[in-house]
Chains A and B, each alone.
Chain A
Amino acid sequence: MNDNGLNLLENLDYSVVQQCMHCGMCLPACPTYDATLLERSSPRGRIAMMRAIADGDLQASKVFAEEMYFCLGCLACQTACPAGVDYATLFENARAEVERQGLLNSPVRDFVRRWTLGWLFAKRSRLHRLGRSLRFFQRSGLQTLVRKSGLLRLMPWGLGALEPLTPEINERFTDQLYRQDLKKKNPSAAKYQVALLAGCIQDIAFAEVNADTICALQHNHCEVLLPEAQECCGSLHGHNGELDTAKRLARINIDAFNAEDLDAVIVNSGGCGSHIKHYEHLLADDAEYAERAKEWSRKVRDIHEFLVEIELRTPECKLPAQQVTYHESCHLKHGQKVSDAPREVLRAVPGLQLIELTEADWCCGSAGIYNITQPEMSMQLLDRKMSHVRATGAKIVATGNPGCAIQIAHGGQRADVPVQVVHPVSLLAAAYRAEKQGES
């Protein structure tokens, strides 16, 4: 039970539910409606069910619960909605209600949830420890052995199929890179002081993206801090019905960063960014943190957004001509409405030619842990994405979210489309580094 024992949907400010006037404008934007043509699998249908539950006209059932997890949470409906419905809040509360009532409980699911959401992603140090073991596994030859052994097929809940989606773990994580090398490169007379949210997967599997982010900022008059006490942003928890843990993590980060003293809190992962920009709403009822959360939300910037805001410097170097296409992370585009800035960053890189991707903002099927929980729909979306990528002819796909990067890299192998997946800021950082090489 939550604090007052009330149904979370009943408890939610009714105006949020009522904001939807069921015009249907969201339907064509919704990937699950597009695939099923079922009203139940549309944003409008999902909200209608939530409202019926809030009104006491419908029982929260297993069918409802499954529908809430069939939703990608891509938030394309929010972009499509002229009425300004806050679907993210509705969706998070609906999932939290599903968990509160234990509608989908099963021993395996409970175990996995407890282990991942409740333990692993609740503390960064644990993730680092696991990361190091995983790296040992990947490097030692054990991985090859396990793959050949067929052991993976024995794993419950289809988890074996996920193994190819496990990203390669970096040798050094972000804080190590920062302490040993990057910190020293902070400009002496910086114009802006910013701090970076390292993330979780980004931190251990894409530490170079964090390094590139720091590098790009440093080339634009920024002193970059990396607060040591920071934790996972909590989006994974928020989107999966663990709102209390999400709130706890938000408070830790607010304490760790002291956004009040910064020009910006920088985030380079679309999913994390979309979530941390909403700390303000998440902690609105927290007497102690509400004000600080507001200040935090005011300071958070996606890296592309920030670079464009401070008028990023075009790198002065010559690089070989290359074609790149841009896939929009759902939570960057729909969650944060950041769509032009990443393209501007790409256009600033000498030698890069940006080829527009058809349906660039249609979900790739990664959607947090959706590719784990709904593999079939996820792969259907990935195949659709890869067919568009193939049509561009570009050999590089740029995208601003680690989940998308893993998914599309997997899609490249799956659909035999040879592409390299990179973060836009990595291409920019490479160009800045090439300047120096030109000098020397």
Chain B
Amino acid sequence: MDNLALIKDLASFLREDQLLTSDEDLSVYAFDGTAMLHNRPACVVLPERGEEVAQILALCNKKAVPVVARGSGTGLAGGAVPSEGGVVLCLVRLNKIIELDAANLVMVCEPGVLTQKVADEALAAGLFYPPDPGSIKISTIGGNVANNSGGLRGLKYGVTRDYVMGLEVVLADGQILETGNKCVKDVAGFALKDLFIGSEGMLGVITKVILKLVPAPASKKTLLGLYDDMTQAAETVSAIIENKIIPCTLEFLDRTTIECVESYAKIGLPTDCEAVLLMEVDGHPAEVDEQAAQIEKIARQGGAREVRLAATVEEGLRLASARRTAFSALARLAPTVVLEDVTVPRSELARMVAYVQGVGERHQVKVGTFGHMGDGNLHPTFLCDERNKEEMARVEKAMEEVFSFAVELGGTITGEHGVGLAKKPFLPKQLGPVGMDVLKRVKIAFDPVGILNPGNMFD
């Protein structure tokens, strides 16, 4: 690949400030939110309109140059790392909310809009955009769609996929595809939009998103259950769901995670218990009151040492946002934080949690675990130092075992972060030869030259 010629061609239709080539700039777009993975691109482009994205892709397709799309670069599987160099296509300047259509409960926006802004603008109109990944304050909606991000409300409200009604996508050759629309029902042709959701930038580049919104719940209550035993916490979760209550949030943190979060957020989390459950119910005020009371009772019966009810909405918010910092807060304990997101059927949660603890002990690796207990999505987090090769080998081993066990339990190696580079070696184990073959055929159909995020997910 001739970088100079490529840059010259890009410069023919991009302004100087839209095309970054200095070593300094290249070094800061070499990574995303994932530990240890980095590689410098040949250049970084910052398009401001969909047409520019189309021009860039058409050019790169002609020249067979890799293109890696990214938003704010908060991904946790290395999906935005330009592992084969080429062009980083940074979409943060495509950041306009185009329309909030209250009559159809729809928002149309560009991919670089921050997820928090989507949520705030919806709320200002009395509406609700539920998906709330941990990085909501800085992640972009385009990145969320491309990775089908989850969050803390998956149990009741689902994930990003459940809120995407339509997309505008620039295909590898620069053609612009519109798929989906504002209609609740639409069966015209294959649901192509669903292929792009979670495609990790390998099938096309999203330049517009039509999002579904729902009415904002009138009321919300937040409870905190403190446990001396992790299994009791897991059992409480099962009991709540068996009682036909679907809280919007059912999060748990283990002792290590609680200590780190408390040391950052200082919101009075107890640091002497083995597990904390963060539980939120929302909806009609009467229903919320009743469910909160029921949950409190179930938690106490399940062995909670203490159940606290957040006195105000603000206190509840503080607790939830503290939980969102868990991953980064764990970095207080070790320089390298390897975060996983194995997910198992809910009924297998207690087994999975116990297994993770055992793996940590067996391999002498420090693990902090937290996650979305309500939807079976765990975040075992390995605390290590990437410069310690011997330790990293043990972490690698521990990770492999965790993945295998999750698959054995009928779960998945990744619930919400994506495969990216980080989990690429483990994908065949879960999908099998047929699954892998279909993935590759879909990829070739959309990107015959292979310019879109090559090296990601599979080879």
A interface residues, Cβ below 8 angstroms from B: 15, 18-19, 21-25, 27-28, 37-40, 42, 44-45, 48-49, 52, 57-59, 61, 63-64, 67, 81-84
| B331 lies within 8 A of A83 (CB) | yes
| B28 lies within 8 A of A45 (CB) | yes
Bound form: Cα–Cα A61–B25 in Å:
12
| B24 lies within 8 A of A18 (CB) | no
* CB-contact partner of B31 in A22, A49, A61, under 8 A: A22
For the residues of A in contact with B, the DSSP-based class is loop
Total contacts A-B at CB 8 Å:
100
Could you name 10 residue pairs across A and B whose Cβ atoms are closer than 8 Å?
A: A21-B335, A21-B336, A21-B337, A27-B72, A44-B28, A57-B27, A64-B24, A67-B24, A82-B326, A82-B329
Q: Which of A19, A38, A67 is packed against the most chain B CB atoms within 10 Å?
A: A38
| A27 lies within 8 A of B328 (CB) | no
| B23 lies within 8 A of A59 (CB) | yes
User: Hey, which chain B residues are within 8 Å of A58, CB to CB?
Assistant: 23-24, 27
**Any A CB within 8 A of the CB of B264:** yes
- Interface size on B (CB < 8 Å)? 44
| B335 lies within 8 A of A15 (CB) | yes
User: Hey, which chain A residues are within 8 Å of B23, CB to CB?
Assistant: 58-59, 61
| B25 lies within 8 A of A25 (CB) | no
* CB-contact partner of A82 in B29, B74, B328, B335, under 8 A: B328
What 7 A-B pairs have minimum CB-CB distances, sorted nearest first?
Answer: A83-B331, A82-B328, A82-B325, A45-B28, A18-B335, A82-B329, A24-B74
* CB-contact partner of A83 in B22, B31, B329, under 8 A: B329
Bound form: Cα–Cα A22–B37 in Å:
11
| A63 lies within 8 A of B22 (CB) | yes
- 0/1 per residue, B250-264, Cβ < 8 Å to A? 000000000011011
Bound form: Cα–Cα A40–B24 in Å:
7
User: Hey, which chain B residues are within 8 Å of A38, CB to CB?
Assistant: 20, 25
* CB-contact partner of B33 in A18, A22, A39, A63, under 8 A: A22
Assess A21 versus B331: contact at CB under 8 Å? Given A40-B24, A49-B24, A59-B23.
yes
CB distance from B314 to the nearest CB of A (A): 13
User: Hey, which chain B residues are within 8 Å of A84, CB to CB?
Assistant: 263-264, 331-332
| B332 lies within 8 A of A83 (CB) | yes
| A28 lies within 8 A of B24 (CB) | no
Bound form: Cα–Cα A22–B35 in Å:
8
**Any A CB within 8 A of the CB of B138:** yes
| A23 lies within 8 A of B28 (CB) | no
Assess A39 versus B328: contact at CB under 8 Å? Given A25-B135, A82-B264, A84-B264.
no
Give B21-45 interface residues, CB cut-off 8 Å to A: 22-25, 27-33, 35
CB distance from B323 to the nearest CB of A (A): 11
Closest to A52 in B: B27
User: Hey, which chain A residues are within 8 Å of B260, CB to CB?
Assistant: 82
Bound form: Cα–Cα A15–B336 in Å:
10
Closest to A39 in B: B28
User: Hey, which chain B residues are within 8 Å of A39, CB to CB?
Assistant: 25, 28-29, 73, 90
User: Hey, which chain B residues are within 8 Å of A82, CB to CB?
Assistant: 260-261, 264-265, 325-329, 331-332
Closest to B265 in A: A82
**Any A CB within 8 A of the CB of B93:** yes
- 0/1 per residue, B172-212, Cβ < 8 Å to A? 00000000000000000000000000000000000000000
Bound form: Cα–Cα A306–B385 in Å:
40
* CB-contact partner of B114 in A25, A28, A42, A44, under 8 A: A28
CB distance from A18 to the nearest CB of B (A): 4
CB distance from B368 to the nearest CB of A (A): 13
New contact pairs (20) apart from A22-B33, A24-B72, A39-B25, CB-CB < 8 Å: A23-B135, A24-B74, A24-B138, A24-B139, A37-B93, A38-B25, A39-B28, A48-B27, A48-B31, A58-B27, A61-B24, A63-B22, A82-B261, A82-B265, A82-B326, A82-B332, A83-B331, A84-B264, A84-B331, A84-B332
Closest to A80 in B: B137
User: Hey, which chain A residues are within 8 Å of B95, CB to CB?
Assistant: 37
Assess A37 versus B92: contact at CB under 8 Å? Given A23-B74, A61-B24.
yes
CB distance from B395 to the nearest CB of A (A): 15
Bound form: Cα–Cα A49–B38 in Å:
13
User: Hey, which chain B residues are within 8 Å of A18, CB to CB?
Assistant: 335-336, 385
Bound form: Cα–Cα A58–B30 in Å:
13
User: Hey, which chain B residues are within 8 Å of A44, CB to CB?
Assistant: 28
Bound form: Cα–Cα A278–B263 in Å:
20
Closest to A37 in B: B92
CB distance from A202 to the nearest CB of B (A): 30
Closest to A51 in B: B27
